[in-house]
Amino acid sequence: MPSAQTNAVNTINKTRQTMELNDKAPADAGDAIRDSARNILRVTPLGGLGDIGKNMMVVEYDEDMVLIDAGSMFPVEETPGIRLMIPDLAYVLDNRERLRAVLLTHGHEDHIGALPFLLEFGIEVPIYGSDLTIGIVESKLTDRDYQLFESVRQLRTVDTETVLQLGAFEAEFFQVNHSFPSSLGISLNTPLGRVIHTGDFKFDENPILGRPIDVNRLETWGREGVLLLMADSTNAEEDLATSSEIAIEDKLQELFEEAAGRIFFSTFASNTARVQQVLNLAERNGRQVGLVGSSMYRYTENAVKLRYVDLDWNNLLSDQDIDKGAPDKICVLITGSQGEELSALNRLSFDNHRFHQVRSDDTVIISATPIPGNEKNYYNMVNRLFRRGANVIYADLADIHVSGHGSLRENARMLDLLSPRFFLPVHGEYRHLELNRRAAVEHGMPEQDVLILEDGGCLEFGHWNRDFEPGDGDALLSRCLVREGEPVSAERIVVDGSVVSDDHGILNERLLLRDGGMLVCVVNYSARAWEMRGAPVLVSRGALYREEQRDFHDLARQAVAKRFAAMAGNPGTKASDIERDLVRVLRRICRDELGRNPFVVVKLAADNDVSDPI
């Protein structure tokens, strides 16, 4: 079976062909300006502005381009059966000769999950990130799902002392605090001025792992002048400063002391600080630790190897020990804090994990809040765990989770430190971006300098119609203008098993099947005489209640027979025309008589045609 990445070629190429056709259309004035303009800085988000996840930002200066992050996104309720979603890569692939590097802020999936798909297309530029981020990426590229062993040579480790010359960009990196230690913000010095992307960040003066944000460095850049700040908006609905990771320590200690049986502790495997916190609590309370879930092993192994996490692998509990040891001496770090379909904790909630079962004396601590759009999966899993008899502790009940994202107050502090000429909120659904924009204006930034953008949109910065001299200091920033650039394709690309596609029609069909069931109608007819042979055959699945079936079938058969007779007498009518028309007839009856909208299939079977109607 072809890989998901290989199947992506057709999808991306289709998008690229559409873009090429558009390019052949007569150019308008805006096209002429873009083609001829020089000394122009462009920022174009392909993901992460309008959604939580699949973060990818394109930054261009004339003929040079860099990517900041290449993430994936959890499936949401309107994408049933989908494994994950990634950004539309067509624009990057069409401009690959200008791409100088991929810069990674940190190793969470919403920032690195699309990398394998990008590399499958032969993108051969360096990929830069912190040591832990690069370790996670290497592990990802070489696992059985991707096996991109050759691409590992493109990985490069950077730290806060690194300076890279990437065409017109001089890239530097600064420490930020987040639930992933060694997270980095990115500074791109350009001929027009400095551009800063915070990545996911908060201010934590007492982080469990790593160092606080280098405030002095940010202040220095602020004094020198910052053209554009792009800052995390995920937590823009909160005004008070985000708590430190250490703030939940006392509550977790209390829960460890109260637990009579085993503790199953679920958090993001990539939340290395939380993992270390649990390891410390387990040791303090005389509990041995087991790891359950492949990503928990993978992330923890990398963190141990790079000395971010202190763990003796020889003391880990085996799967047998987890079930046979003294319950009050066991703590299990387990994946699945979002109720992901195939995750370990979700399997436990369904009682179909191959090794473990939930017991009535178990305590399950879920140290995470549901990602927006994923609330249903999360709470359904919590309900199932309660039904299994577990004592379930989650963030609605106790202070056992703190966000890794800064609030509006922390964004205001970042604005004060950097004093940017322009501000662009990033990372969040539209309401998060808008709330961050409004807060910046209320904090004193001129409204015209606080920008809003969604995936596929483009902003251009430059000095058109004005004299431009690179390196002109404060005057350079004050004279810089911004305008809307040409948008690019930024469709959600879905990964479904081994297929990668932008075909949203199949998702609509799945939603119809899920919400309204299915109705199939088979009409046997004589192709020569164009006459029906017998009554139409109706089969429904999930569309009709038993007490509705007889009356509905009678009404539907009459309507189908009447419409078939009316259309069959028209010269030049094709079977496919009749099928489409009968679908509309049956949908209308379903809406009028049932108030429902099932997925409807009609098949005309000519003479001895007995092919599968579905």
According to DSSP, residue 312 is labeled -
CA distance 492 to 85: 6
Catalytic, 396? Answer: no
Do the beta carbons of residue 494 and residue 117 sit within 8 Å? no
Q: Please classify residue 112 by burial: count the beta carbons closer than 10 Å to its beta carbon, then call 0-12 exposed, 13-18 middle and 19+ buried.
A: buried
CA distance 46 to 90: 10
Phi-psi map region of 330: left, alpha, beta (phi>0 left; psi -120 to 50 alpha): beta
> Which long-range contacts link 209-213 to residues 24+ away (Cβ below 8 Å)?
209/181, 209/272, 209/273, 209/276, 209/308, 210/175, 210/177, 210/181, 210/182, 210/183, 210/273, 211/175, 212/175, 212/177, 213/174, 213/175, 213/176, 213/177
CA distance 87 to 47: 5
Catalytic, 353? Answer: no
- Residue 257: both structure tokens together: 């002391």
For residue 484, give the nearest of 90, 25, 40 by alpha carbon. 40
CA distance 351 to 356: 8
CA distance 599 to 590: 10
Find tokens 């692939």 and name the residue. 93
CA distances from 222 to 195, 213, 216, 416, 418 (A): 11, 15, 10, 8, 4
Q: Please classify residue 419 by burial: count the beta carbons closer than 10 Å to its beta carbon, then call 0-12 exposed, 13-18 middle and 19+ buried.
A: middle
Q: Which residues contact 589 (CB under 8 A, 6 or more apart)?
A: 552, 555, 556, 559
CB atoms within 10 A of CB 431: 12
Do the beta carbons of residue 83 and residue 10 sit within 8 Å? no
Query: Of 106, 111, 401, 405, which residue is the catalytic one?
Result: 405
CA distance 474 to 480: 10
Q: Is the dihedral of CA 326, 329, 333, 339 positive or negative?
A: positive
Widest pairwise Cα distance in the chain: 87
Do the beta carbons of residue 464 and residue 429 sit within 8 Å? no
- Residue 258: both structure tokens together: 């109260």
Query: Of 232, 362, 455, 496, which residue is the catalytic one?
Result: 232
Q: State the first-to-last Cα distance of the chain, in angstroms, to the nearest integer.
A: 24
Does residue 65 sit in helix, strand or coil?
strand
Q: Which amino acid is at 435?
A: L
Do the beta carbons of residue 192 and residue 39 sit within 8 Å? yes
CA distance 394 to 315: 28
Active-site amino acid positions: 232, 405
